[in-house]
Amino acid sequence: MKAVVIGESSGATMETIMSVYPRHKVIVDKYVAQGEVIGIGPFSDRGNMAIFKNREAAEQFVTEDPFILEGLVKSFVIRDWNDTML
């Protein structure tokens, strides 16, 4: 079963987001290289979503992501997703 991390924006400015983005991208790239990320990106309201191959990877990611650790994501939820399309 896949896992989806859905984050709610803290309302940080784009300037603040972009100042943290390089550190966030390092973590994202790590999980992509490990083959754990299916998709990741922002919503139009600056919230975000990431789909992982399993819950363990999603849980580990949220402990490392600077967007979460530095308060750019106000809150997040990890939801198990039974993707029946594949």
pTM, two decimals, is 0.92
Domains, the chain: 2-81 (3.30.70.1060)
**What would the pLDDT profile of 7-30 be if each residue is shown by its tens digit?**
999 999 999 999 999 999 999 999
pLDDT at position 83 is 83
pLDDT at position 42 is 93
**What would the pLDDT profile of 27-65 be if each residue is shown by its tens digit?**
999 999 999 999 999 999 889 999 999 999 999 999 999
Q: How far is CA 48 from CA 65, 76, 84, in A?
A: 12, 9, 22
Identify any residues that bridge with 6 across adjacent strands, giving them in sequence order.
49, 77
Structural tokens at position 7: 């984050």
pLDDT at position 63 is 98
